[in-house]
Amino acid sequence: MNDAGISKSSLGKPIEIDIPEALRDFEADLSVDSHPPQQLGRLGRHWRWFFGGLAIALLLGWANYQLPSSELSTSSLFVPAKSGLAATSNWRMLPGDLLLGHVAYQEAPTNSLSAVVADGSIKLRQPAAQSFLAMGQAAKANKISLVPVSGFRSIADQTYLFFTLKAKQGLTATERAAVSAPPGHSEHHTGYAIDIADGSRPTTDLEITFETTPAFLWLQANAARFGFELSFPKNNVQGVSYEPWHWRFVGDQGSLETFYKGQRIQPKLPGNP
C-alpha cells in the first residue's frame, strides 16, 4: 500500500487504512488537522455551495406560498370556440368576463362604418356592409326580401335601451338580459351584427315567428356563403333567448377574432360535465 493509504498513530507508528484510492482524497478533505490551508479552503467552498442552494430553495418556497389564489383561477382555461359548434349542446360556457350571459365588446370606430340603407340610418363595418348588400342582391334574385332593421348600435344607445325601455316594460335585470344585452356587451357595438326582417312578412319583425318566413329559410341555406351566421340559436350556451332575426358577420379576420378569439367555451367531454 502506498503513502496515500498510511497514517500515523499518536505513538508515531504507521497504521494501515484500507481505503480505496478513488475515495482517499475525499476522506482526506475531512481530516482538518492533517491538511494545509488550501485544502481547508476547498472544504469551505463546499459549505458555501450547500448553504447558498438552501437559501434559494427557501426563497422559492416562500414566493410560491405568497402567490395569490387569483393567479390560479379558471381564467387560464381559455379555449377558442369553433364556428358552428359554440351553440350546440356539446359545448359549455366556462366562468369568465361575462355579464348576465353576455360577452363584452368594444364599440366600432365611426369611421369604420358604412351604410346599408339609402338614408344612412343603419350601418355596419365596411366588410360586413358590403357582404350584406351582396347577400341582399342574391336573395332578391330568388324573390326574397331581406330588410335590415338594426345594425351598429352605440353603447349610449344600448344604455337607453337596457335601462330605460326595458325598465318601462317591468323587466328585472336578468329578464332584460335574456332579450337585450347590457351596455358594453351587445354584438351591435361591434358593427358586425344586424337584425334582419322579411319584407313580405312585416308582422314577424323581431319576433320568433320570423323563423317561419321565406327570408329566414333562405338565410339558413345561404347566409354562410356571405360570411353571416345566427348569433343566438336555440339552446345557445350563453342562455340568451332564441333570436332568429339576429345575424353576425364572421367573414374576415377581424370579425372572426371579435366573436371567437379567447371565448371561454370548451367542449363537453366524457368525465367533464
* pLDDT at position 244: 98
Under 8 Å CB-to-CB from 104, ≥6 apart: which residues?
Answer: 97, 98, 184, 185
pTM higher than the cut 0.85: no
What is the per-residue pLDDT for 61?
A: 52
C-alpha 245, offset from chain centre: 27
Domain ranges (residues) in the chain: 3-66, 76-267
CA-CA distance, 17 to 142, in Å (whole number)? Answer: 105
Residue 91 clears pLDDT 50, i.e. is over it: no
Write out the CATH class of domain 76-267: alpha beta
Coil vs helix vs strand at 101: coil
| Percent of the chain's residues with pLDDT above 70 | 60
Q: What is the largest CA-CA distance in the chain?
A: 121
Looking up cell 356592409 gives: 129
Q: What is the pLDDT of residues 174-193, one digit of tens each?
A: 888 888 888 999 999 999 99
Pull the grid cell for residue 267: 367542449
In the chain, the amino acid numbered 108 is: A
Angstrom CA distances, 243 to 23, 206, 234, stand at: 82, 8, 8
- What does 120-186 look like in DSSP terms, one character per residue? S-SEEEHHHHHHHHHHHHHHHHTT--EEEEE----HHHHHHIIIIIHHHTT--HHHHHHHSPPTT--
